[in-house]
Amino acid sequence: MNQFKRHRRLRSSKEMRELVQETTIDINKLIYPLFVIEGENIKKEIPSMPGLYQMSLDYLELELKELDDLGLRKIILFGIPKVKDEVGSEAFHKEGIIQRATQLIKRNYSDFLVIADTCICQYTTSGHCGIYKDGKILNDESLKIHNLVALSQAAAGVDIVAPSSMMDGFVSSIRTALDHNGFENTPIMSYGVKYSSAFYGPFRDAAENAPSNGGTRDSYQMNPANRLEALRELKSDTEEGADFIIVKPALAYLDIIRDLKNRSYLPIVAYQVSGEYSMVKAAAMNGWIEEKKVIEEILISTFRAGADAIITYFAKDYVKWQKGIL
């Protein structure tokens, strides 16, 4: 009699389960975000993101040492400037916070892979990712500013620029600017598939980039209800010369990650955003979930969905657990 399949044969022991496990978490594919702020002697915990800090450059040095010891050498930088203005000048200032942070990292830890978020929302008085005028975000005018940001980051030594404004044509515009200025080897990691998400809430505390006057980013970030639109973004960013495509957020968008993975030859990067971190931390602090297991499950599910790399605030904790030091 053989009327049914015995799937449990392959679940019968730890060793058997290990043998047939299809996905693993590769810590070499984790990217850790850092928030750097102007000033000195600042290490300020972000209230809605326990365990994460805004750090001035002196503290950044200590953090780098720790990350280096952990072997976690892929980072993405977000800057918080001293002053904001209409066009976000501090984002492309030669001595802006990201530019100085990058130089410091490259001076002391040259083997770190430094990705810079190429946007202006932390730097503009409007808190928007583009130039804001009379209630509108101007697309083509914003591209010129983003080019300046990308160029100044490349000049400071970043390894990858990651434009995140969701302005149309930002990849093509930045690619052209980089190529014309001797940075043809600097890759672009495009936040091409970025949804207008409430999961970004805690980040806006962390990076002080909330759009002003209760504004939203709905006119440039994508509607969470849409799937085909993500494929259109993938197509145009690919044609424009992106080297990586980011899907953001991650956990509520695993179907989108898989859609892209099935249709793209580019590496797909999942950005597990602030709200995804805060929800897990809050539940863990209340003793409602098993933190390590939940984080491991989320990371593995994101890889299983098709992510080639993950930007995650959990990277440090996860690596520490793996090494038995937390």
Q: Which stretch binds ligand PBG (CB under 6 A): 12-20, 21-29, 98-106, 113-121?
A: 113-121
Among 128, 217, 261, 316, binds ligand PBG (CB under 6 A): 217
DSSP 132: E
In degrees, rounded to 5, the angle at the alpha carbon of residue 126 between the alpha carbons of residues 251 and 58 is 70
91 near ligand PBG, judged by CB under 6 A: no
Measured from the CB atom, the residue of 129 and 268 that comes closer to ligand PBG is: 129
Distance CA 88, CA 96 (A): 11
Show Cβ contacts of residue 199 under 8 Å, excluding neighbours closer than 6 positions: 249, 252, 273, 274, 275, 276
204 near ligand PBG, judged by CB under 6 A: yes
| Closest of 156, 82, 61, 85 to residue 118, by C-alpha | 156
Residues that contact ligand PBG, how many (by CB under 6 A): 12
Q: How many helices and strands in the chain, by DSSP H and E?
A: 11, 12
- Whether 194 is a known active-site residue: answer yes
What's the gap between Cα 117 and its chain centre?
A: 8
Is the distance from CB of 209 to CB of 127 less than 8 angstroms? yes
| Cα torsion 11, 16, 17, 23: sign | negative
Which residue is closest to ligand PBG by CB?
Answer: 203
Distance CA 149, CA 91 (A): 6
Measured from the CB atom, the residue of 29 and 146 that comes closer to ligand PBG is: 146
Measured from the CB atom, the residue of 35 and 183 that comes closer to ligand PBG is: 35
For every residue of 206-250, DSSP letters joined together read: HHT-PPSTT---TTTSBPTT-SHHHHHHHHHHHHHT-SEEEEES-
- Minimum distance between the CB of residue 36 and ligand PBG, rounded to whole angstroms? 14
117 near ligand PBG, judged by CB under 6 A: yes
Measured from the CB atom, the residue of 198 and 285 that comes closer to ligand PBG is: 198
Among 99, 124, 147, 164, binds ligand PBG (CB under 6 A): 164
Show Cβ contacts of residue 286 under 8 Å, excluding neighbours closer than 6 positions: none
59 near ligand PBG, judged by CB under 6 A: no
Measured from the CB atom, the residue of 20 and 317 that comes closer to ligand PBG is: 317
Spot the catalytic one: 29, 74, 84, 248: 248
- Minimum distance between the CB of residue 266 and ligand PBG, rounded to whole angstroms? 20
Instruction: Map residues 119-138 to x or -, x wherever contact with ligand PBG holds by CB under 6 A.
Output: x-x-------x---------
Residues in the chain, overall count: 326
Instruction: Map residues 259-278 to x or -, x wherever contact with ligand PBG holds by CB under 6 A.
Output: --------------xx----
90 near ligand PBG, judged by CB under 6 A: no
Instruction: Map residues 171-200 to x or -, x wherever contact with ligand PBG holds by CB under 6 A.
Output: -----------------------------x
Burial class of residue 75, CB neighbours in 10 A (0-12, 13-18, 19+)? buried
- The catalytic site residues sit at 194, 248
- Interaction site with ligand PBG (CB under 6 A): 117, 119, 121, 129, 164, 200, 203-204, 209, 217, 273-274
